[in-house]
Amino acid sequence: MRFLYCENGDRLPVLGLGTWKAEAGEVYRAVRHAISVGYRHFDCAAIYGNEGEIGRGLTDALVAGDVQRSDLWITSKLWNDSHRKAAAGPALEKTLTDLQLEYLDLYLIHWPIAFKEGVSFPHSREDFYTLAEVPLAETWSALEDCVDRGLTRHIGTSNFSVTKLQNLLDSCRIRPAVNQVEMHPLLSQQKLKKFCDANSVLMTAYSPLGSGDRSTMMKAADEPLLMELEVIVDVAAGRGISPAQVLLAWAVNRGTAVIPKSVDPGRMEQNLAAVDIELSSDEMARIDSLDRHYRYVKGGFFAGRNSPYTIGGIWDE
C-alpha cells in the first residue's frame, strides 16, 4: 500500500473503500473481505445510513485479529443538519457509537451547506440555514473541539472550493488535513489541487469511476461514461488492465487518495491492485487532456427556488 502523509506523520492509505450507496446486508461482507485482502482505509458518512453495519464489520475483524486498530484509517463526515457548534460533537459521538470506535482518523464537514436540526434532506426554504446564520467557521470550531477531546485525530472538508478553504485557513486554529472532492479525468480539479498542495492539504477523490450506480434523479441523460472514454479504453487495452484500474492508477499517480465504492469481492481486489500500476508520463498527459470540468455530482439537489444556495455558490464558480 502507498500512503499520503499528514503534517504530523500519520499515514493515509491512498486507496480506500467507499461506502456511499453500499446497501444493508452487503456492506458488512464488503468490509470484512476488504480487510482480508489488504484495505486499511474506509470512507464513511452518517448520511449513508450504514455506519452501524460497517461498525459491526470493523469490530468483528478487530476481534478476530484480522487487523489492528492502529493500522486502520477511518473517515466519516458531519451531516448538514449538525453544523451548529452545539450539534457537531454529539453527531460525531453518534458516529463513533455506530462504528463501534473510540476515535476517528478523519472527520469532515460533508458539504458547505447548513440545514435546520433534524433535517436529513430539505423540502422547503425553512429547512435551511444560510452560511451567514451558521458560518462554516462556527462548524469548524466545533470540529477543532472534537480533536481536543480525542474524538478524531484529524479534521477536514468535503466539497470545499479554494475560496472556502482559504477562508478556513485564515481563521482556523487547527488546519484542515484533507479536502475530499469529486475528482476524475473529466474533473481533474487542477486549480484546487495546486492550492491544496501549496497549503499541505491532502486530497481524496470521490466518484473516481463516475458513480454510475447513483440514483437516476442525479444523472444527466447525456452524461459521459468515464470507463468508456476512448483514451481510457486505449490505455487499458495497451496495458492489459481494466478501465477502472486506469482511472484509479491515474488518481494515485498524481498524488491523491481515492475511494472507489464496491461490494463485489473481485472488483475490490482489482481496484486495490491499481495502487501498484505506474502510468507513463505520456499516458498521464493523455488522460489529463480529457479534463472538461464535468461534474457528476453537481449539487443541484441543494439548490433551486426553495433554497438559499445556488450551484455556483456551492462551488464558487
How many distinct structural domains can be found in the chain? 1
* Residues 70-95, mean pLDDT to the nearest whole number: 98
Which residue has better confidence, 25 or 214?
25
What pLDDT does residue 33 have? 97
Residue in 48, 107, 206, 309 annotated catalytic:
48
pLDDT at 218: 67
CATH number, domain of 290, equals 3.20.20.100
Percentage of the chain surpassing pLDDT 90? 93
Looking at the chain, the whole-number percentage of residues with pLDDT higher than 70 is 97
User: Distance (Å, rounded) from C-alpha 213 to C-alpha 192?
Assistant: 26
Residue 214: is its pLDDT beyond 80?
no
Average pLDDT estimate for 94-118: 98
> What mean pLDDT is predicted for residues 216-226?
79
Residue at 222: amino acid letter: D
Q: What is the mean pLDDT of residues 216-240?
A: 89
Flag whether pLDDT at 256 surpasses 80: yes
Say if residue 200's pLDDT is above 80. Answer: yes
- The single-letter code of the amino acid at 286 is R
Q: Is pLDDT above 80 for 130?
A: yes
List pLDDT tens digits, range 144-169. 999 999 999 999 999 999 999 999 99
What's the mean per-residue pLDDT of the chain? 96
Could you tell me the pLDDT band of residue 217, with boundaries at 50, 70 and 90? low
Domain that holds residue 186: 3-315
Q: Is 48 a catalytic residue?
A: yes
> From CA 105, how far away is CA 87, in angstroms rounded?
20
